[in-house]
Amino acid sequence: MAKKAKRRGRPPGAKSPDKMDVGQLRQYIERLQGVLGQKISEQRAYFEQKLSELTGIGAPKRRGRPPGSGAKKAGTRRKATPKYRSRKDSKLLWSGRGVTPVWMREEMKGTKLKKDDFLITKA
């Protein structure tokens, strides 16, 4: 036996908003607004409770400036000391951080030089 397909749409006896008179339509709208207001208040209470839990957890860990103060932390790091020097031009230095500089790539190209050959030795 084939299953009977479920009916879609409004339940039997429900009136279409197109067929309601003005009074019924206003009652329908007020009922919907009441339901929406209730849902909004439930959601607001839920999210406020979750937010208070989160702020309760995160509050003791905060140190220093308050968030959103706009002032950035002053740069306290010193400049990295150079570890590599060019063989052709002794003014060209590289700390070893970031991308290999162009001058080093050009000097290594076509030769057997490696990065270790450019290391600055302390003498």
Per-residue three-class SS string for the chain: CCCCCCCCCCCCCCCCHHHCCHHHHHHHHHHHHHHHHHHHHHHHHHHHHHHHHHHHHHHHHCCCCCCCCCCCCCCCCCCCCCCEECCCCCCCEECCCCCCCHHHHHHHCCCCCCHHHHECCCC
**What's the pLDDT at 78?**
84
* Domain map (residue ranges) of the chain: 21-60, 84-118
Do residues 118 and 104 make contact, with C-beta atoms less than 8 angstroms apart? yes
pLDDT tens, position by position, 1-19: 567 767 676 666 666 667 7
pTM score above 0.95: no
pLDDT tens, position by position, 35-81: 999 999 999 999 999 888 887 765 555 566 666 666 666 777 888 89
**What's the pLDDT at 22?**
85
